[in-house]
């Protein structure tokens, strides 16, 4: 059983490196450790992969589920992902939700300098 686990782990690592076009891993390691425990749904949001986020929402991903202390909308606001913000809100994401730090999506947009996201959230909240 232990040998099987090691084999599966090695195959997974090999597959990741085979797919990943990044050759200089020194710069990649920092970004990778920052998103280690974040859900795949939120990683897609951070990357700005609208089609993947849309498909995941259609398949039932919870738009208000917290991942590493932030909701998907907080990630979208922090990284100024306007189309994803619209998609999440249209599918039930709560704009005023606060995390353990007391931050909302609006606050994340503000502290990250995502003025377009902040304006959009204010507009959507007013509706």
Which residue reads 């425990």 in tokens?
A: 37
Helices 82-90, 50-58: inter-axial angle, 10-degree rounding: 10
Domain ranges of the chain: 38-126
Do 80 and 109 form a contact (C-beta atoms < 8 A)?
yes
pLDDT one digit per residue (tens) for the chain, 127 residues = 555 455 445 555 554 454 544 444 444 444 444 546 899 999 999 999 999 999 999 999 999 999 999 999 999 999 999 999 999 999 999 999 999 999 999 999 999 999 999 999 999 999 8
pTM equals: 0.72
Domain 38-126 adopts which CATH fold? Answer: 1.25.40
């Amino acid at each position: 059983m232990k040998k099987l686990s090691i084999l599966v782990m090695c195959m997974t690592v090999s597959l990741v490196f085979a797919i990943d076009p990044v050759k200089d891993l020194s710069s990649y390691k920092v970004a990778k450790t920052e998103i280690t425990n974040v859900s795949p749904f939120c990683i897609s949001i951070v990357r700005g992969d609208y089609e993947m986020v849309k498909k995941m929402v259609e398949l039932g991903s919870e738009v208000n589920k917290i991942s590493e202390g932030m909701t998907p909308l907080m990630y979208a606001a922090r990284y100024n992902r306007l189309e994803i913000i619209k998609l999440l809100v249209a599918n039930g994401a709560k704009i005023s939700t606060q995390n353990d730090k007391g931050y909302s999506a609006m606050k994340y947009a503000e502290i990250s300098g995502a003025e377009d996201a902040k304006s959009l959230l204010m507009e959507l909240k007013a509706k």
